[in-house]
Structure 1
Amino acid sequence: TNCQVGVSLHLASDHASAAVGWRLFLPGTWDPASPKADPDKVARRTACGIPEDVGHVEKWQLALDMADEVRSWGIEVPLAIADAGYGDAAAFRLGLTARGLHYMVGISTTMSAQRADAVPVCEPYSGTGRPPVPKYPDPARSVKELVTEAGRKAARPVQWREGSRPGTGRSGFKRMYSRFVALRIRPAGREIRQAADGPELPECRLLAEWPAGEPEPVQFWLSDLPAETPLTTLVRLAKLRWRIEHDYREMKQALGLAHFEGRTWNGWHHHVTLVSVAHAFCTLQRLARAPKDTAPA
């Protein structure tokens, strides 16, 4: 909003969620150490109150930094969920793995991968020059192609939660329902190959939503959860991110998140902090009023 981009970290469950961390993204044009530095914008740092030790950091790294901070509070995070803006970044996924965090992240349709049963092979060595290294015989394909190849027959119906519209669910609301395909794949890419322990790329779980009325899959996720994780669990976790979208809608429409018009570093952080506290207070009030059979411990 107003040319300011924030990265937020939320703690979420099936019953509630709250923003617990914020970082203001500083583009490279505002960083004097960046090759993209803009002298006019660098000159405005002092007026904006930007600390001298703050420079350009990629959004996915800001997210990892906040995850480290939350865990330093003694809060164990069992799973990281993010949209495709973060899921497409191999460095972000590798950072989560290095921290021992499982993930369920959105990805774009163009992410490339090998089939899970693909095996790297080594060309015959003629005895001259550098010995060949094992590599996959076929080029990596997009995740959309892999799911389309599996076909509609691979899609399974899943209900993951009750929505807000009246329906036949247990609480009188309509059940959220769609069809999903889950495949084992091996994500490709230079960073993944460099981090791999050996010639084989690591396996991950690809989840794709393919509604009955659609000619092709409409949304994709990537996860490193164990292979025995049920499809219903994968879908529930992938769809849990709706809570964060709901947080943003509530903070913007009811609590003034988008009303900040300042241009200072401290002012922005002050504003998002107060909005987050107000949102957390409203969330606690709702939970206190919730029926006993639905309120979490």
Structure 2
Amino acid sequence: LPGVHDQALNHFVTNSPWDVVPVRRRLASRMDEVITPAAWALDDTGWLKCGTASPGVARQYTGTVGKVTNCQIGVSLNLVTDTASCPVNWRLFLPESWDPASPAAAADVGQRRVRAQIPDDVGHREKWRLGLDMIDEAVGWGLRSPLIVADAGYGDSGEFRHGLARRGLSYVVQVATTISVYPQAAVRTAPPYRGVGQPPKQRYRQPAVSVKDMVLSAGAVAARTVSWRDGSRIRDGRPVKMRSRFVFLRVRPAGRVLLAAHRDQDLPEAWLIAEWPPDRDEPTKYWLSNLPATTPKRTLIRWAKLRWRIEHDYRELKTGLGLHHFEGRTWQGWHHHVTLVSAAHAFCTLQRLDPKALAPA
């Protein structure tokens, strides 16, 4: 562009010492005020890379290309509604090969961290822990989360779901078919005490089952049709409603973490939701939610499906705003880059929401 000093701009992004936290805090506050989010959404995206110098780069799975490849992974916290959304916080995921304290650390990890200017106190943390870190930070900024939505990369973790519940946060998260649950009616029992040794403790005597088996046992007859929002297709001058069939069950999510956290009490109840299209022999997606039993079914599905906004964000951030164009190799530069791109995305969102804004030529 005429008048742009490329070298100065590159220095501002890569080497300038400005702090991203105040910028993100202001960005989050402004977009929370304008969007009034229905939920906070967690997700991650990949930057395809060559070589090994960029911070966090490793051979790892990324949904960006749907396979294991050489890439960086960034985790984002997005404010979302059906009509608007914006990423307001980021974390760069460091694989164990980049953590000197890990047995899986690369032999040259020390030199690579120095070149990438990674702070000494930053090590490997699972993506779901990075997500909780960002949620805690946003709450510390004065924001209040209405609901957390996330895909199975986060929802499969019992520690993540328990961490949200412990913080008093509601969630609707996708889970894999293998996540184990008890039926709602399951009760803890103990065999009769015979007066010898410690009295036996109450526990669930029946084995937990997978969410897939739980829904299949209910059968397709349990599915009901639910519509949740207007789609992009138009029929007879009106948008066609998004619609599918779903099974709704009340269950008690199991797993080692939850059983340990509720050692002397019943496991909390939750919604198990399964999407079972009429043309399929079995469900295609599953969600768990700790929302109350009185929550309307359409509301549950609207929130379960709300994560589509993140895919919209990532597409716009990458194809329109240059999210994946950063070629710097420093920890600070990466965080500067994603913060500036998020600010640009926020500006575009504000323009779209402003009825007085002029349409681009």
- With the length of structure 2 as denominator, give the TM-score of the two structures: 0.77
Q: Using the TM superposition, name which of 239-248 and 122-131 deviates more.
A: 122-131
Query: Within 5 A, what are the aligned runs for 1:169-208?
Result: 172-196=238-262, 198-208=264-274
Q: Report the count of equivalent residues.
A: 289
Matched, 1:283 2:344: no
Matched letter for residue 157 of structure 1? T
- 2: CA distance between counterparts of 1:42 and 1:107? 36
Q: Is the 8 A contact 1:118 1:136 kept in 2?
A: yes
Counterpart of 1:208 in structure 2: which amino acid? A
Match of 2:139 among 71, 75, 80: 71
2:182 pairs with 1:114: yes
Aligned to 1:144: 212
Q: 1:93 offset after TM fit, Å?
A: 0.9
Question: What code does the residue aligned with 1:270 have?
Answer: H
Deviation for aligned residue 1:290 = 8.7
- Fraction of identical pairs, as percent: 58
What is the correspondence of 1:153-172 to structure 2 with a 5 Å cutoff? 153-168=221-236, 172=238
Structure 2 residue aligned with 1:85, among 153, 157, 170? 153
Amino acid at match of 2:161: R
Alpha-carbon distance between aligned partners in 1 of 2:99 and 2:205, rounded to the nearest angstrom: 44
Shift of 1:289: 3.6
Matched residue, 1:294 = none
| Partners of 1:13 and 1:29 in 2: CA distance | 37
Partner of 1:270: 336
Q: Distance in 2 between matches of 1:175 and 1:58?
A: 37
Residue 245 (1) aligns with residue 315 (2): no
Q: Deviations over 1:99-143 (max 9, x none)?
A: 111111110010011100111221233333443222223211000
Q: TM-score, length-normalised on structure 1?
A: 0.93
Tell me the secondary structure at the aligned position of residue 354 of structure 2: helix
Give ranges in structure 1 of 5+ residues lacking alignment.
292-297
SS in 2 for 1:166: strand
Pairing 1:59–2:130 present: no
- Indicate conservation of the 8 Å contact 1:29/1:42, yes or no: no
Structure 2 unaligned segments of length 5 or more: list them. Answer: 1-46, 50-70
CA distance in 2, matches of 1:149, 1:23: 40
Q: CA deviation at 1:251?
A: 1.0
Aligned-residue CA RMSD (Å): 1.7
Answer yes or no: is the 8 Å Cα contact 2:277–2:283 preserved in 1. Answer: yes
Q: Secondary structure at the match of 1:215?
A: coil
Paired letter, 1:45: R
